[in-house]
Amino acid sequence: MPGPRRGTADGPCPIGRTADILGDRWALLIMRNATVGMTRFDEFKAELDIADNVLSGRLRQLVESGLLTRIPYRPEGGGRTRDEYRLTQAGEDLLPLLHAMMVWGNAHSESASPTRPMRLVHSTCGESFEPGRRCPRCRRRVPRSETAWIRPWRSDLAQVLGAAAAP
Amino acid sequence: MPGPRRGTADGPCPIGRTADILGDRWALLIMRNATVGMTRFDEFKAELDIADNVLSGRLRQLVESGLLTRIPYRPEGGGRTRDEYRLTQAGEDLLPLLHAMMVWGNAHSESASPTRPMRLVHSTCGESFEPGRRCPRCRRRVPRSETAWIRPWRSDLAQVLGAAAAP
DNA sequence: TCGTAGGCTTGCGTTAAGCAAGTCTGGAGG
DNA sequence: CCTCCAGACTTGCTTAACGCAAGCCTACGA
């Protein structure tokens, strides 16, 4: 933002410090998509409809903030090696925050084309759960690999975490 | 932001809709302070170190989004009647989101002057709790009136919700 | 009636977003 | 070995929004 931004990046309040990193629409949307399995520059660009200079800048900030890391990969169709952006532990730990955003959004905002609400479910049993709590059906802790976002407005089935797909 | 902002305010994803409202540093900080009991324009201005035109704009947006309402009050020291900004139900329901931000910030960011971490406690028994869950000591649901934020970096005791004080 | 104070608006310079075009790099193919 | 190619990233331009500062506007008190 204009003017010498007087940030609170190292202030005493943890909410203020978090707001300094995530108090940005694009940062939140990128981390949302990364959390559902998205990793590549052109995927983010196409899905978010974001200008590539802005995307490039945000990804760099998120890497600097320690939420993402760059890892080389070789595209399946051939081509030069490129980097993909994967969640760090700090990035994975955003799950409760994104879940809270989902719950609030389900309750207090409305879609132009209503569907059944988005849910976070335990992929091995299909039951809704809350991050940090045990699955109410299995009574087990839900590892990240068994986490799925149900997005009823999407017709495809690429909703399980790990299948790169966009909300 | 520049250019005709292509928002997702009514998109199908509730996280995207929430990001449209709260994907802004000032919006998050204002709602944080409102949640700990702050209500008045000059309080926000002084505590957040925000320009008054920006504060005015953000408060208007938050009222339009249904997170705050304006309520007239008469200043104790005399003076004309003014409006204060109080949380609506939607605003109060941000508690889990702010709590998740607190937890993440405690874990993954660092203060320039470290203290014991911020906590959300049940004010009648002093036990930490998570929004939506019962108090682990009392086994009772924690109403908003019994909610307190412990902010160890503040020496004063105005930490109980309802006493207008800033993080 | 006038002074005052706080909330809000306006104007100016600066930063960053959105857009579009260009650059840079390394693998593939000739 | 050289060239082509595709995609990530950079640069330049226009415009919106921030930070700052000054001014306005309005009830209440004197």
Q: CA torsion sign, B118 to A104 to B26 to A24? A: positive
Q: What is the pLDDT of residue A89?
A: 97
CATH topology of domain B1-91: Arc Repressor Mutant, subunit A (1.10.10)
Instruction: Give dist(CA A61, CA A66) in Å, integer.
Output: 9
CB-strand contact A139/C, under 7 Å? no
Tokens of B144: 């908003």
Nearest nucleotide to the CA of A51, by C1', is C18
pLDDT band at A1, cuts 50/70/90? low
The model's pLDDT over A12-35, given as tens digits with 9 standing for 90+, comes to 999 999 999 999 999 999 999 999
CB contact under 8 A, B17 and A49: no
Q: What is the pLDDT of residue A131?
A: 96
Please list the ranges in chain B whose pLDDT falls under 50.
162-167
CB contact under 8 A, B23 and A19: no
- The rounded mean pLDDT for chain B is 88
Q: Which residue is nearest to nucleotide C17 (CA to C1')?
A: B2
Three-state secondary structure along A44-94? HHHHHCCCHHHHHHHHHHHHHCCCEEEEEECCCCCCCCEEEEEECHHHHCC
Q: List the domain boundaries for chain A.
A: 1-93, 95-167
CB-strand contact B2/C, under 7 Å? yes
CB contact under 8 A, B15 and A28: yes
Contacts of B13 in chain A (CB under 8 A): 32, 105, 118, 151, 153, 167
Instruction: Give dist(CA B70, CA B86) in Å, integer.
Output: 6
- For A1-93, CATH number? 1.10.10.10
DSSP secondary structure code for residue B68 in this structure: E
Tokens of B34: 């409102």
Instruction: Give dist(CA B34, CA B40) in Å, integer.
Output: 9
User: Which residues in chain B, range 125-144, keep a C-beta under 7 Å from any nucleic strand D atom?
Assistant: none
**A43: how many CB neighbours lie within 10 A of its CB?**
18
The model's pLDDT over A89-110, given as tens digits with 9 standing for 90+, comes to 999 999 999 999 999 999 999 9
